[in-house]
Each structure stands twice: as structure tokens, then as C-alpha cells.
Amino acid sequence: MKRSIFLLFLLWGSLLFSDDREEPIDLIIALDKSLSMVEEIGAVREYVNTYLIDELLIPGDFFLVVAFYGKTEIPLAMKIEGNADKERAKAIISSLLADGRFTDIGNSLDVLGRQVEQRSDPERQKYLLLITDGIQEAPPESKYYAPDGSFNHEFLKNTKTIQMKGWKIEILGIGTYQAARQLAEELSGKYTEVSEEPTPEELAEKTKDFRALATLKISEPVQLSGINRKGKSVLSLRVESVGYTETQGLEIAAIILTAPELGIHEKNILADPHSFAVAPDSLFETRIPLKFPDKLVRGHYQGSIELKLSSKEQLIPAVFEAELRVNSMFINYWPWLLIGLILLAGLILVLILVLPSLFKAKLKFRLVVEGRKSDSPVYTLVEGKPLFLAEEKPEDSSQEERLYITGNRSPACLARLVLFQKGMRMMLLRSDRFPKLRDVPRDVMGFSFVVRTESRKDMTVQFQNVT
């Protein structure tokens, strides 16, 4: 009874995956048919036929199956037009046997890559499911051969090409062999592990996100801020979640940069591990601090960036090209340069206002009335700033009027004094108060003249130079 309920649940979920989809996709299955898969191949065939061909594919999809061992075969490469195509595909899958010697995963990736490039629509989203027990054993004549069964340099170089294409990749590892997990890491794909004797239902349950065509896709454009003199920069990513029913937590463990022009090869530039979460069917923006080598030569450079995630889910594409901009000195120090410019502008303004007054011509003198100069203050006549000879009326009528010098013009002013060259010119404001002065000399410094006060008293006045 429990098994029946479980099967009904899977069937209902599978119908959801395909019923609402209208846009065609490219579905690629890389199936391990080496001898080590002999006990699992039956469950795998039933899983592919029931949960992928019957329930996921729709008319217009391109369906590619590569079966690999020491060689790679292409049992299926077709566009699905209807149920007849599905039945033909299922018959071919049902005939596959685990009867091959060796396991050359690298060669299978080469073959499927060529097939996709030749026969697929480049604009379509591509989904790759690689099913293997994880035992890498390329034959000696393969370029991917390694005596210890590891993934050699040629294989690792090839994975970078696939990563940059933006495929959704899932590695379905049967059993607990570490090679399948390592393969997922190298391809920046999701790793899913099932038991050594899996059922079709277990395979379906473990790959439910893949069958829902769920993706965490980096939306363009990727923005990388300028690199300052300390090597600091920020990578801005916009991540779109499609097809997931739950929030996906992501942790970026490393960001690997290769930039030959800067002499950088596979260097981790992530300042610190960076975590964030993306809600279902949403767009999330995150800013990731980076640390490049310091004191790089300013300029523009090209490089490739690879995101290494320690979380189960992965981002696509995992590798992308990036333009690197090393800031010039001006951009690195612009806040300090701006402050310096403001201070310089202020200094120039002060000089404009102050310097003219510092270098203006000046004349110091005393006002001598009736020959008395002992108590007379020293005045300074500055170019452009006139002074005035004025009369002060005493409050006590018994006292005499007083003549004085002021900088403010008022009705009490009798004459205006201005500086010219090195002399003093006097312009009369009240000529009636200068009864004996017929012609005012051009320079009145040292010249004696008479001023008549309001009380009709005549006073002899002289401006005496003070050196």
C-alpha cells in the first residue's frame, strides 16, 4: 500500500513537470554502460523511459543519449515530435546493456559536446544528466587515460569548456565511489548519490529538481568593480531561481581567476566564504568582496572566473569571461584628491581676497592741528579706501570743536582724502569751511591750510608724513 501511494505521488509530481512547459529544451543523457553497471542498468533503463521520456519530454524537445564505456556510442539523437518518437526512444533505451569494457567519461563528454553543437539549437537551455557508478577507467589509448584512474589534465581542461556553456548538469552517482563526486565538482554540477542497487522510484525521487528543470541561473550582466591599489574589488551577481519549490542556500567557497595578461593562473580571489539564499521563483542580487594581488598595473584585461560552491546546488554558468579594470591612481585616491582640490580652491580664494590688500600702496600720516602733534594718532591711507577729515562738535559749548580723521562718510565730514601714487589728494566736501584755500595742491601731504569751524574759528591744519 505504501509503495502504491509513493508511486502515485511521483506520477503526480512528474505530470506537473511537463504539463505547464511550452518552451522546448535539449535533454542530454550520458549513460555508463560499462560492465560495472550490469546490476543497475535495468533500474536505470526503466527510470529513463518512465520519468524522463514519458513524463518530461514534450514535442519540440531535442533528446540526446550517449552510452559510454571504453568507447562512446550514440543510440539516440532525435527531435521529439510526438508519442511515436517517444515509443521509438523507449525501445532503444530498453535495448541498452552494460557490456562494455573500461569507462571513458572524458570521451563521452567530447562526443556529446560535438553532437549538441551540430544538431541542437544554441539558444535553448540544455540539461545534462550523467549516470555512472563513478569508476573512471579510460583505456590506455585514450587521451584521458590515467594509470590511477583519476581525471587527468586533458579531462579537467575539457570540463572548463562545458562549464562556460551554461548547461544545467547533474551527476547521478550510483554507490559511494568518490570519482562521481569529484566529477560533479569538476563540471560544477550537482552531485546526487543513490544506493548501489537503486530502484526507478529512488532515481526519480533523487532527481526531482532536475526533472522539474530547476535552475539557479546567473543573469547578465555580471558586474566587476574596478580593482584598487590594495587589490580590492566587488563582484555583483544577479541569481534567478526557476523551478524550485524551496529556498536554496548557496555557499561560494572559492572564486578562481585566470588572467594571463596579469600573470594570474587559477588563483582564488574570494576574500572570504560567501553565503546567501534564493527564494523560489525570485531574483536575488548579491555583492561578493574580492581580493586580487595588490599593485597591479593599471589598465583593462580579460580573464575567466570560475565559481566553486560547497553547497549542493550549483550556479550556471559556473565559468564566465570577465573584463578586469585596474584603477588608475586618480580613481584609487579620488576622495583625497577631491579634498585636496577643495583645499586648494579655498587657498586660491583667500589669496585672491587677501593678496591685493597686502600689496596695495599705503601712506601713514598724522593730523596736526595748530602745530600740536604729540597726541595725534597715526592714520593709514590705503589705495582704494578713502578717509575723511571731519569736525566733532563738543557737548559743552565752552569747549572748542575738534578735527579728526574717520573712515566713514557723514554730514560732519569736510574733505575726502585719497591715496594716489605716493601722495595724498584732498577733495573738498564743504568748500565754505576752507576760506583761504583757493587751489588745492595735487599732493596735500605736508601742506598747511586753514579750516574754519562751525563756530567761525580758523584752525591751521597739516598732514604730516610718518615714515
CATH of the domain at 106: 3.40.50.410
Q: Which residue has the higher pLDDT, 184 or 157?
A: 184
Both 244 and 270 in a single domain? Answer: yes
Exposure of 327 in the CB half-sphere (CA atoms within 13 A): 18
Both 144 and 27 in a single domain? Answer: yes
Closest CA to 9 of 204, 197, 193, 192: 204
Both 184 and 287 in a single domain? Answer: no
Both 230 and 317 in a single domain? Answer: yes
Residue 354 lies in a domain: no
Stretch 19-25: mean pLDDT:
84
Closest CA to 290 of 270, 313, 317: 270
Q: Which residue has the higher pLDDT, 61 or 332?
A: 61
Both 322 and 371 in a single domain? Answer: no
pLDDT tens per residue, range 396-443: 877 888 999 999 999 999 999 999 887 999 999 999 999 989 899 999
Both 377 and 319 in a single domain? Answer: no
Cα separations in angstroms, 327 against 166, 188, 287, 333? 30, 31, 19, 10
DSSP characters over 320-339: EEEEEEEPPHHHHTHHHHHH
Residue 421 lies in a domain: yes
458-465 β-sheet, strand order = 378-382, 362-369, 458-465, 448-452
Residue 390 lies in a domain: yes
Stretch 137-163: mean pLDDT:
83
Q: Is 62:121 a contact under the CB 8 Å cutoff? A: yes
Query: Whole domain around residue 53: which residue ranges?
Result: 8-213
Measured from the Cβ of residue 253, the count of other Cβ atoms closer than 10 Å reads 14
Please give the pLDDT value at position 156: 72
CA distance 447 to 428: 15
* CA distance between the termini of the chain: 122
pLDDT tens per residue, range 250-303: 999 999 999 999 999 999 999 999 999 999 999 999 999 999 998 899 999 999
Closest CA to 388 of 410, 366, 420: 410
Both 185 and 147 in a single domain? Answer: yes
Q: How many structural domains does the chain have?
A: 3
pLDDT tens per residue, range 226-256: 999 899 999 999 999 999 999 999 999 999 9
Both 82 and 119 in a single domain? Answer: yes
Residue 45 lies in a domain: yes
**Coil, helix or strand at residue 312:** coil
Residue 83 lies in a domain: yes
Length of the chain: 467
pLDDT above 70 covers a percentage of the chain that reads 93
Burial class (CB in 10 A: 0-12, 13-18, 19+), 405: middle
Closest CA to 279 of 236, 216, 220, 223: 216
CA distance 234 to 385: 60
Both 153 and 235 in a single domain? Answer: no
Measured from the Cβ of residue 238, the count of other Cβ atoms closer than 10 Å reads 15
User: Residue 224's domain is classified under what CATH number?
Assistant: 2.60.40.10
Both 197 and 245 in a single domain? Answer: no
Q: Which residue has the higher pLDDT, 342 or 218?
A: 218
Strand 232-242 relative to strand 26-32: parallel, antiparallel, unpaired? unpaired
Residue 333 lies in a domain: no
Residue 100 lies in a domain: yes
Both 270 and 178 in a single domain? Answer: no
Where a domain ends, among 213, 247, 275? Answer: 213
Q: In sequence order, which ranges of 164-246 are alpha helices (DSSP H)?
A: 178-187, 200-206, 208-211
**Buried/exposed code over 255-286 (b: 16+ C-beta within 10 A; e: otherwise):** bbbebeebebeebebbbeebebebeeeeebeb
Rounded to 5 degrees, φ, ψ at 139 are -65, 160
Helix (H) or strand (E) holding 285, with range, is strand 283-291
Both 86 and 175 in a single domain? Answer: yes
**Coil, helix or strand at residue 66:** strand
Please give the pLDDT value at position 151: 78
Mean pLDDT for the chain?
89
Radius of gyration over every alpha carbon of the chain, rounded to an integer in angstroms = 47
Residue 332 lies in a domain: no
The answer, yes or no, to whether residue 15 has pLDDT greater than 50, is: no
